[in-house]
Each structure stands twice: as structure tokens, then as C-alpha cells.
Chains A and B, each alone.
Chain A
Amino acid sequence: GNSVTQMEGPVTLSEEAFLTINCTYTATGYPSLFWYVQYPGEGLQLLLKATKADDKGSNKGFEATYRKETTSFHLEKGSVQVSDSAVYFCALNDGTDKLIFGTGTRLQVFP
């Protein structure tokens, strides 16, 4: 079946460091891909999305590129802030009614 695999956390970085959170997927066809962020005590919020190969989603300094050849959708940010500390979820939609989520990656940014 279709699935999403994320790197294990926590990812611990100093402020202004470069961030990469890896996400790979298994799916037939051309799924839509998403990154969600969950801040402490809150629900998941859509961070960015991409709906076709080579699309780049971006928001709040975060970027991710839909790579069909490597079935990946890695999340990147050039300079993280303490306020980016949260749990990040990669997800896909394969054209059905459901989203398939990864297990989440916790990011901790220290000043």
C-alpha cells in the first residue's frame, strides 16, 4: 500500500542553522504531497504542498520539491529560528479521500 517515511527525530539545531527533514513516499501514480506543522498544544497546520512532479512548495521560508525520480519531498529551511520548534509531518494524497501521514519529526531549535 501507499506510505510515507520520515526521518527519525528529534532533530536538534542551533538558531540560524540549515534544516533538512527527509521524506520519501511509496505510491502509484502521481500523488499530491504535503508538509504539515504541529506546534505544542495545537492542531496540524498546512505548511506547504505540491501537486505534480518538480513543483516546489514554499511558505514561511520553508521549501520542498516534489521529486518523482527519487520519490522524495524533503523539507528545507535556510536559517531556522527558535519559533520553528515543532513537529513536522509529511503526508500524501493518492486521489482517494484520505491523507496518509508519516510518523512526524520533532524539531528543536536552541538559541
Chain B
Amino acid sequence: DAGVIQSPRHEVTEMGQEVTLRCKPISGHDYLFWYRQTMMRGLELLIYFNNNVPIDDSGMPEDRFSAKMPNASFSTLKIQPSEPRDSAVYFCASSFRQGAGQPQHFGDGTRLSIL
């Protein structure tokens, strides 16, 4: 079975540029989560969707960050304009329902470096 697919795996760009990260969740999963991982702050939940609708974006650091899920098989996380402090590994995860016992399945992440 195909897992969660993220692209690109690595992105290096200069500050001020727009960055778009992409995620394809596991087919049939109705929840999608975006996380950010850094050494300083660990794993942070940025936003999550249920049935393509954003439910909680309280973890999005500021207005420069936006996320969309136009259909059940695709989501994007966009940073515009990017800053060096946005450098991190960004993970997408999906799950079938939530609640007791349902695990989240993670992609391999996008390692983002803003110069």
C-alpha cells in the first residue's frame, strides 16, 4: 500500500521566496495533519483537516503560512514570504477517523532550508 507521499523531499531557497510543500494522504483517510519539527521546539502541529475542511489552524505560526486541501487526495502548505527561521522538517500525516486507537501515518517529510 502506498503511504503518505510528500514532495519535495528537500527544498533550499532564499528568504523572501514562496515555498509550497505538497502532500498526498493515504487513500480513504479522512484526516490530514501538517507538523513542523525542529531541534528547538520538537514536533509541532500546525493545522489539520477533516474531510478537506480545516478544523484547527491554531498552530500556524503567522499569516505567512497557509494550507489548503482542495480534494481528498492532495494538500499544500505554503509559506510566503519565507524566512530563515522557517527552516525545519515539515511532515504530513493522515488517519482514518480519529479517537481511540486510530494511529496517524506520517510521510517522510520535506526538509526545508531558507537561506
Contacts of A89 in B (CB 8 A): 43
| In contact, B106 and A97 (Cβ under 8 angstroms) | no
A:4-53 near B, CB below 8 Å: 32, 34, 36, 41-46, 49, 51
Q: B100 contacts A97, CB within 8 Å? A: no
CB of A62 to closest CB in B, whole Å = 15
Asked whether any CB of chain A lies closer than 8 Å to the CB of B102, the reply is: yes
Say yes or no for A93: interface residue by CB 8 A criterion.
yes
Q: Count the A residues whose beta carbon is within 8 Å of the partner chain — how many? A: 21
Q: Pick the contact of B106 from A41, A43, A49, A104 — CB < 8 Å? A: A43
Q: Please, how many angstroms separate the alpha-carbon atoms of A104 and B45 in the complex?
A: 15
Write out the residue numbers on chain A whose beta carbons fall within 8 Å of the beta carbon of B43: 44, 89, 101, 104
Our pick among B45, B55, B56, B91 for the contact of A44 (Cβ within 8 Å) is: B91
Q: Give the residues in chain B near A36, CB-CB below 8 Å.
A: 106
Q: Given contacts A97-B48, A104-B42, is CB(A44)–CB(B106) below 8 Å?
A: yes
Complex: A95 Cα to B99 Cα, angstroms: 4
Q: Are A103 and B103 in contact (CB under 8 A)?
A: no
Q: Given A89-B43, A98-B45, answer yes or no on A34-B103 (Cβ-Cβ < 8 Å).
A: yes
B100 touches A32 (CB 8 A): yes
- Whether a CB of chain B sits under 8 angstroms from the CB of A70 is no
List, in ascending order, chain A residues with CB within 8 A of B31's CB.
Answer: 97
What distance in Å separates the Cβ of A88 from its nearest Cβ neighbour in chain B? 13
Q: Are B103 and A46 in contact (CB under 8 A)?
A: yes
Cβ–Cβ contact B100 & A51, under 8 A: yes
B100 surroundings in chain A (CB, below 8 A):
32, 51, 93, 95
Roughly how many angstroms separate A93 CA and B48 CA in the complex, as a whole number?
15
- How far in angstroms is the closest Cβ of chain B from A101? 5
Q: How far is the CB of B26 from chain A (nearest CB, A)?
A: 13
Is there an interface contact between A42 and B105, defined as CB atoms closer than 8 Å?
no
A residues lining the B interface (CB < 8 Å): 32, 34, 36, 41-46, 49, 51, 89, 93, 95-99, 101, 103-104
7 inter-chain pairs at a CB distance below 8 angstroms, sorted by A residue, are: A32-B101, A45-B106, A46-B104, A93-B100, A96-B99, A97-B56, A98-B45
